[in-house]
Structures are given as structure tokens and as C-alpha cells.
Amino acid sequence: MYLNGQNPLNAKFAAVLSRLIEVPVEKFSPRLAAEIRQMQAAPSSGDNSGAAEKVLEMLRKHAGKSLDDTAQGKIAKAVADSLVGSSNVITGDFSRRPTAGDEIRIAHYDVRGSLGGGQQVQDYPEVVQDLTVSQSHLRELGVTYKDASHLKMITGFGQSMEPTIHHLDPMIVDVSIRDFNGDGIYALIWQGHFYVKRLQIADEEHFEMISDNPMHPPRKIRMDDTYIQARVLLVWNAKKL
């Protein structure tokens, strides 16, 4: 919502974004960097509680109607943990093993793509782990993409896409694909819920949203009420023995 311009970028989200993409806030918003410096300069008892309180004040003023107390608390904690020292550079643990050769690192986000009845969309998906994989291995598996930085991982949840996708299967998705570009499996938002489903064109105004499990009948959904977030490129299946 922030990157699409639906929500205005502000200091509390800029701090979280900076930590995720490992880029100082001043590189993409000098104005917000200045706000963060002011929060850092706020009196506190040797920690960042003053900055966190500032963030909570901003949240209540600008986003209180759309965020519950738990979400507000998570954001404030993330900013408080990030605002360290006197500079506007967000610190983080960058001690991970560097990639070698044609390896790429794909962030695995704490987002559950519903394979059934739909999951509520999280405002602030968290990175839970990384996958380091060889690009040549992805090509051998038939995965094609334009930019490796657009690849992310999410987790399937439910049984309606079996046997193609099983419950808790991780999936590699291309987040640069935000429009329908042919029959396939997409991560999408429909009626405020997040799904991973197969999409086909039904008519000029509708998609056919299909579950691979025959126990779940297909549904016609309006194109103008469907927001594609990514296309699923690979399901990382593991067979139980």
C-alpha cells in the first residue's frame, strides 16, 4: 500500500523499509531522515523509548483507524530497535554469508497465501528467513525472471490447491508481475483477502479463480476487484516419506 501510493510514506514506515532494503532513509527521503533525527534527539532514559513514543503519536494521529494496537506496537518496536546512535542510518545484522558465484538471496516473508478461504492481509510482512540458491539451478527448474531482486518467498496455507501446492509449501514469486499475463497461479487480493490461486480469463470482466483441488469449485471474480500481487514461479514441494 505504501509503495503503490495508497498510504503516504512516513517516518515509522521509512525506518522499517530502510532496515528491510538495507538503505539509509536519507537516500530515498531526506525529509523523513530529518524527522527520524529529531526523534532520536528526543529526551529518553538512555534508550529509544522517546522515539517509539513519537512514532506511536504519529500512528494514532494518521493511521489509528486502520491499525490495531498490536500492529501499532510492532511498528513502534521496530523503529525503536532501529534508531540507534546519532545518525539516521538504520542498523541491522548484515553478517550473513555473502553470496558466491551465481547465487542469489531471496527474502522469505511472513505472509501466508491462502490456498482456501482467504487470509487477512498483513500491513507489515516480516522477513523470517532467506533462501540462497543458484540461478543456474533455478533455470534448470524452468524458472524465468527478468530481475532476481523481484523474487520473494511466501508460504501456502490450506489444502485447496493440492496436489499442486500443499499446506505450508514455500513458493517463489515474482512481485514485479502485477497484472494478468496468461493462465497461471498468482498471489492476489480479492475482497480484502489474500489468495494463491490459478487464474484464467472467464470473460471481458471476470477471471475464473480456480482451486486445483476438485473439492473446491471455481469462482468467477470481477477483474476490477482483483489485485494481483505476484505470479508464482516455483513451489518448493517436499514429499513426506
Q: Which of 241, 209, 211 is nearest to 222 (CA)?
A: 209
More confident: 95 or 59: 59
Ranges of beta strands (E only) in 45-204 are 103-114, 119-120, 127-134, 151-157, 170-174, 184-190, 193-201
- Whether residue 229 contacts residue 187, with contact meaning beta carbons closer than 8 Å, is answered with yes
Q: Are 115 and 167 in contact (CB under 8 A)?
A: yes
Any alpha helices (H) in 42-170, and if so which ranges?
49-62, 69-82, 135-140
Q: Is 60 exceeded by the pLDDT of residue 192?
A: yes
Q: What does the pLDDT average to over 60-65?
A: 53
More confident residue, 86 or 24: 24
The Cα 22–Cα 16 span in angstroms is 10
* Mean pLDDT for the chain overall: 76
Is residue 146 over pLDDT 80? Answer: yes
Q: Does 218 score more than 60 pLDDT?
A: yes
Q: Give the pLDDT confidence of 86-135 residue by residue, as tens digits.
A: 344 433 343 455 666 789 888 887 665 555 555 545 544 444 567 888 99
In DSSP terms, which residues pair with 157 in a beta bridge? 114
Looking at residue 61, what is its pLDDT? Answer: 57
Helix (H) or strand (E) holding 32: helix 30-41
Q: Per mean pLDDT, which of 56-60, 154-158, 176-180 is the most reliable?
A: 176-180
Give the alpha-carbon dihedral of 148, 152, 158, 164, to 10 degrees: 10
> Whole-angstrom Cα distance, residue 145 to residue 217?
31
Domains and CATH numbers, the chain: 11-82 (no CATH), 103-235 (2.10.109.10)
Inform me whether the pLDDT recorded for 39 exceeds 90. no
Q: Which of 26-30, 208-212, 227-231 has the lowest mean pLDDT?
A: 26-30
Q: Look up residue 62 and give its three cell numbers.
A: 494518521
Instruction: With residue 27 as reference, give the H or E element that holds it.
Output: helix 25-28
Lowest mean pLDDT, pick from 70-84, 115-129, 161-175: 115-129
Contact 196, 232 (CB under 8 A): yes
